[in-house]
Structure 1
C-alpha cells in the first residue's frame, strides 16, 4: 500500500524467518548472552523473561514460549487484583506467546551486553483477549477487511529530572554545560544544546531499536521535551515504536545522570506531557479516505471520535495523575473538542494537502498504553464513518464548543464499562477486565493517608 505521507516501509524484518534473524544477531553481537523477551501489560509496563540466547534460537525454531496469562493483568505497582474469574480463580494458567519478527535488537543502555525482542499473543492459536497488542490487532484486522488502512505517527512528550529525588519529589535536571538547573519554563533552542548529548543519544538509541524517532523539540515545562516518530503504515509497528521508545529513553537518561518520566502531570504549575497521535486512513490504492467528498469523511471521523471519547477516558487518562492534566495551563482540553490548527482542541486538524489530511488526537497522557490509545482512536473514527454525522462546531467557530467527559477515574470507569459502543468496538471481555483493573488500581492508590491530609485535618 502506498500513501501520500512519507510512510516507513512496511517490512517486518530483513530476514526470511525467525531462526535466521537470531543467527544473524548472534553473529553481529557475539558478546550478548541473554535477550529480554518483552510484552506490554495493561498499565503500559513491560513484563517478560530474560532468555539465554541459545534457548532463544530454539524458540525461534518452534519450541513453545509460554508465560502466565495473568501477567497482562498486573496493576500499576505489579500486584494482581481479583478480576472476574481471572487471577485467583483460574489457577494462573500459562498462555503461548510468539516472537515478533524484526524486533530483536541490542540493548546499549545496560551495563552488561543484552538484547531485547518483543513478544505477543496476537497471531497465536489462542490470543489473550485483553492483551493490549491483541486488542489493537483485532481493530486493525476489522478495518483491513473493510479496505481501510491507517497510517500512524506518535509524538511523545516527557520530562527529564535529576537522578536524585529530594524528599521523594523530583528535582529539575542540571545541564551538563553550565551545571544550572533547567527550572525556567520556555521553548528556547539553547535548551536543546544544553541537553544535546542525552537527547541525541535517545534518538540514536531509538533508531537502533528500529524506531523511526526524528524531530526533537524543547517544550514549555522545565526539563520537558518532545520527540516525534515517522509516519508508519503498520499500526501495530507504530505502537511498538512508542512502547520501545519509552523503555530505551528511560535507560539512556540514567546513563547521563537523569530520570526520564512520561508521567502525565509531574508538576502542577507546569504543562503536562501528552501522547499525540496522527492518523490518516487510506484505501488499497493509496487514496486518502478522509479527503473524499469535500472532506466529509474527515468530519464524520471527528464526530465519531468525539462521541466515543467520553467512554474511553480510562484509556486516555490511565491513572489518577493523568486527570490532573486536563484544563490546566495551555494546550490541554477540558472537554471533547476539535479545531483546525488549534492545539487547545482534543482533536486537531493540521493544515495539509488532501493526500496528507489527518487527525491529530491530543488527549492521551504520555503514560497511556499506546496500543490501547490507537485502538480507541481508530474505533472512534470507524464509528464516525459508519454513522456519517456532522461534528459539533470547531473551536475556530465557537470557543465554548465541546462535549463533557469524566474527570476522575471512577466516573470514567463507569462511563466505559457499560457503554455498548465501547464494548462492541474494543471487545466486551477486554472492557470488563480493563475497567476493573483501573478501578482496583485507583482504590489501591487511595489507601494511603497523605501529608496534606494531616496538614488539613489533624
Structure 2
C-alpha cells in the first residue's frame, strides 16, 4: 500500500523519513524515492540518542544513550500512517512518519509515540478505546525585525493591531492562508475542523475532529503543527505554537477533549444524567491526582511558565467543573451521549504524543483505582483556595522525576531521558537572554 502511494504520485522525487523526539521535533533523513522501497521493507536506522536531543538539537551530556552505550542505533519503521505529501515545500516531496524499535523488535521506550502506544495497551486490555480531539492555538507573527508583531494582511495590506475574539473579519484578512491550510490538511488527511480568531494579535485556533484512534489523533496534531509552521514560511511570516510569545496577550494552549468507548461503541462517561458516570468521575480524579506531577509534559519549556499565570486563561488550579473554562478539567454541556472531559492545562508548545499519553494514562490510573474526585467547583477558580500546579520549570522537573503517578504512565527510560533533557535545557536557558530564548522557541515548539 505504501509503495502504491509513491507510484500514484510520480512527481515526488524525494521523501523525508522522520520520527518525533521528546520535544516533538521531527528527526530523520532525506531519501531519494528510488530507495523508498528499502525503507518501507526494512526501515532505516539512526542513533537512539537522536530521540533524546535538547531543543537546540544537541546530545544530552549525561545520557546513557550516547557514549555509555556506544551511541547504538535503533531501528526506525514506518508507522501505519504511510506516505503523505508535504504541501509547504516547493518541490513535490513525501513524508514517511517513523517510530523506533530495538534490533530484536521490542519498542524503544524512549520514543514518545511508543509511550502513547503503551498507555493505549492498558485501555485495550480492558476492551476500551479512547476518543480524542485536540484543539490547537497558534500565532501568525512577523519576526523579520527584533520586535515581534502581527504580519501585514495579504488581503488589506495593513497590520491589524487589535485582538479580535471570534472575529470573522480577522479570519477574512487571512483567507488565502487558511484556504491553503485547509487544502493542505485535506491532502495530508488531517481532520481540521473549525477555525476561530482568538484573543491575541494574530492568534487563531483550529480544532481537529474527534478520533477513536488516539495514536492517529496525536499524529494529526504533530503533523498539523509541522504543516502550519511550514506553510506560514511560504507566506513570508512565522506561525508559532509558543506558549507565550507576547507578554501582554494570551498564551497559546493545546486543549484535549477525550471520552472512552467500550467494545460496543458506548461512551462509558455517559450514564444518561447531566452529572456523567462513575467512570467519568474516576477519570477526572486520576487526571487531578497526576496533574501537578505531569506539569512538565503540559509546560515543557522555559517560556511555558510565562503562560501559567492565574487569571490569564491558563488554568493553574487543580480542579474540575461543569461548563467552566477557569477549571483545569471542564465537562462540556450538550448531548449526554457525547459526554467528555476537556483537559485545559497544556500549552501549544507540547509534544502531542506525550500530552495525550499523560492525559489518558492519568485517566486510566483513576479508572483502575476507582478514584473519586472532590466536588466540582463553581465560579472562577482564580478566586478560590485550590491546589496549584508547579509554577517553575525546575519544580516541574523534580515533581515529574519522583512521581508514583508518572511511573504508572511512562516507562522508566522515558522518564529518565526527559528529566535529563530538561535539566540540560534549564541550565543553558538560564544563561540565555530573552531574545535568544525567543529565537530558539519561535520556530521549534
Instruction: Tell me the SS of whatever aligns to 2:418.
Output: helix
Aligned length: 429
Q: 1:420 maps to what in 2?
A: 404
* Contact map agreement 1:409 1:439 (CA 8 A) in 2: no
Q: 1:318 maps to what in 2?
A: 300
CA distance in 1, matches of 2:188, 2:173: 25
Q: CA deviation at 1:25?
A: 2.4
What are the superposed Cα offsets for residues 50-97 of structure 1, whole Å, 9 maximum, x if unpaired? 11112111222x234211111100101111113442223221111111
Superposed CA RMSD in Å reads 1.9
Q: 1:21 maps to what in 2?
A: 2
Q: 1:127 maps to what in 2?
A: 107
* 1:386 paired to 2:343: no
Q: 2:318 maps to what in 1?
A: 336
CA distance in 2, matches of 1:184, 1:367: 23
* 1:42 paired to 2:42: no
Q: 2:116 maps to what in 1?
A: 136
| Bigger mean CA offset, 185-194 vs 85-94 | 85-94
Structure 2: gaps spanning 5 or more residues: 437-445
Q: 2:331 maps to what in 1?
A: 349
When normalised by structure 1's length, the TM-score is: 0.90
CA distance in 2, matches of 1:301, 1:158: 28
What are the superposed Cα offsets for residues 422-453 of structure 1, whole Å, 9 maximum, x if unpaired? 1122122211211121111111111235689x
Q: 2:442 maps to what in 1?
A: none
Q: CA deviation at 1:392?
A: 2.4
* Contact map agreement 1:136 1:371 (CA 8 A) in 2: yes
* Contact map agreement 1:301 1:380 (CA 8 A) in 2: yes
What are the superposed Cα offsets for residues 98-122 of structure 1, whole Å, 9 maximum, x if unpaired? 1123331122221222111101126
* 1:184 paired to 2:174: no
Instruction: Tell me the SS of whatever aligns to 1:306.
Output: helix
Q: 1:256 maps to what in 2?
A: 235
Identify the match of residue 374 of structure 1 among 356, 360, 366.
Answer: 356
When normalised by structure 2's length, the TM-score is: 0.92
CA distance in 2, matches of 1:254, 1:328: 33
Structure 1: gaps spanning 5 or more residues: 1-19, 453-458
Instruction: Tell me the SS of whatever aligns to 1:291.
Output: coil
* 1:358 paired to 2:336: no
* Contact map agreement 1:165 1:171 (CA 8 A) in 2: no
Identify the match of residue 53 of structure 1 among 33, 37, 50.
Answer: 33
* 1:271 paired to 2:250: yes
CA distance in 1, matches of 2:410, 2:267: 25
CA distance in 1, matches of 2:377, 2:161: 32
CA distance in 1, matches of 2:297, 2:230: 25
CA distance in 2, matches of 1:321, 1:55: 41
Distance 1:228 1:451, change over 3 A: closer
Q: 1:205 maps to what in 2?
A: 184
Distance 1:398 1:198, change over 3 A: closer
CA distance in 1, matches of 2:403, 2:42: 41
CA distance in 2, matches of 1:102, 1:424: 28
* Contact map agreement 1:103 1:210 (CA 8 A) in 2: no
What are the superposed Cα offsets for residues 126-157 of structure 1, whole Å, 9 maximum, x if unpaired? 32111100000000012111112101111100
CA distance in 1, matches of 2:268, 2:296: 29
Instruction: Tell me the SS of whatever aligns to 2:42.
Output: coil
What are the superposed Cα offsets for residues 264-289 of structure 1, whole Å, 9 maximum, x if unpaired? 00011100000010110111001111
Runs of 4+ in 1 over 4 A off after TM superposition: 449-452
Q: CA deviation at 1:28?
A: 2.7
CA distance in 2, matches of 1:205, 1:175: 20
Q: CA deviation at 1:30?
A: 1.4
* Contact map agreement 1:103 1:209 (CA 8 A) in 2: no
